[in-house]
Amino acid sequence: MSESNPTNAYFPDEIISDILSRLPVKTLLQFTSVSKHWRSIISDTHFIKSHLKKAETLSTHHRILVPVSPLLSLNYNVSPYNTNSSVQLDCPFIKPLNTVKILGSCNGLVCLIDGRKEITVYNPSTRRHFKPLQISQVVDFSNESNQIEFVYGFGYSSNPINPKVFRFPRFARDSESMVYDFIDTVGTFLNGSIHWLARYSNNNSKHRVVASFSVKKETFSDLSVPPQEPLLPYYALSVLKGRLSALCDGRSYTDMEVWLMMEYGVVNSWSKLFKIPLGNGIGFMRPLSCVNEDEIVLEIDLQSYAIYNAKTNRFKGVKSVQNLKWFGDAVVYVESLLSPEISCVLY
């Protein structure tokens, strides 16, 4: 294809666009140099949305972002011994030896905060980043030096290319009478809302609820956790198979149970997906993503990753990362061409 003849004599643009939308981001970035016409197709907003929609349905376009220094991207769809299974990301916006915490992942964009309370929205696939603001240290109104604790969320209401960053005090009021005491510091985004495990701080109940914040309405509401025994705590929320997921101890404390809310917002629709054994020295695990109907990607003891097969009851290693426990939880992100320049809202 020559620059003098940008149109293709054999394929209409619709077919070219459909073919390109199935390719990984790395290849598409290389293809922007083929011609001005291809660059125009790949940078078009409609194409970016189409590519994202296809990528979300393919586990081969999903990767794990590990908050070590430098950031590490893991491909859990290949052998851990494959040289392409992990890639160190050169992030000049992260200062050397600075700790980084991931605040959420949304449509291929990842929200990060460092030890200086500086927020960055980053696209690991395109390597583009944007710093929407710097959060200064916030001190309460007393004369004491205690700093206010915050929880964070990252998501969008209706436009997937315009996500927002939210920050709340750990004790966030949902009405005039009830106040949430957040258990999670990072929210889970699904269906236009951000979700945290929480309990009510102004009563004696230890019962946990899911605090759901609507990005569009900017209001809180409650979702119930699965109908388990009250003394069995819920440790983590995630999104699996496009549904809200909750992790809890099994009744015998020798396994972990993964539950799915099959119909969003309907308490009676909670269904147990997997029961995963805690043997072989495993102390804690957290589900990250489903590979297929029988396999789930797990973060184990904050420093390694494995795929658990429910049919064979076996673990398959993906990658071990030393000293990850000092940095925090990893997230799964989808390969995307989305720009990281977004808005930020603080509360």
Q: List the CATH number of the domain containing 238.
A: 2.120.10
Q: Has residue 193 got a pLDDT over 90?
A: yes
The upper half-sphere exposure of residue 29, i.e. CA atoms within 13 Å in the direction of its Cβ, equals: 12
Q: Reduced to 3 states, what is the DSSP secondary structure of residue 317?
A: strand
Give me the domain span that covers residue 26: 13-43
Structure token pair of residue 201? 């701080």
Structure token pair of residue 242? 């496009």
Q: Are residues 28 and 175 in the same domain?
A: no
Tell me if 53 is assigned to some domain.
no
Q: Alpha carbon 97 to chain centroid distance?
A: 23
CA distance 121 to 163: 10
CA distance 304 to 325: 10
Tell me if 3 is assigned to some domain.
no
How much is the pLDDT for 318?
Answer: 65
Tell me if 8 is assigned to some domain.
no
The upper half-sphere exposure of residue 182, i.e. CA atoms within 13 Å in the direction of its Cβ, equals: 26
Q: Are residues 90 and 157 in the same domain?
A: yes
Question: What does pTM read for this prediction?
Answer: 0.82
Confidence category of residue 264, pLDDT binned at 50, 70, 90:
very high
Tell me if 5 is assigned to some domain.
no
Number of structural domains, the chain?
A: 2
Q: Has residue 204 got a pLDDT over 80?
A: no
Does residue 32 contact residue 23 with C-beta atoms inside 8 Å? no
Q: Are residues 174 and 272 in the same domain?
A: yes
Tell me if 119 is assigned to some domain.
yes
Q: Are residues 162 and 296 in the same domain?
A: yes
Q: How much of the chain exceeds pLDDT 90, in percent?
A: 14
CA distance 20 to 44: 12
Quick: pLDDT tens for 308-326.
888 888 887 766 655 444 4
Q: Are residues 21 and 123 in the same domain?
A: no
Angle at 65 between CA 64 and CA 71, to 5 degrees: 145
Q: Are residues 22 and 105 in the same domain?
A: no
Q: Has residue 129 got a pLDDT over 80?
A: yes
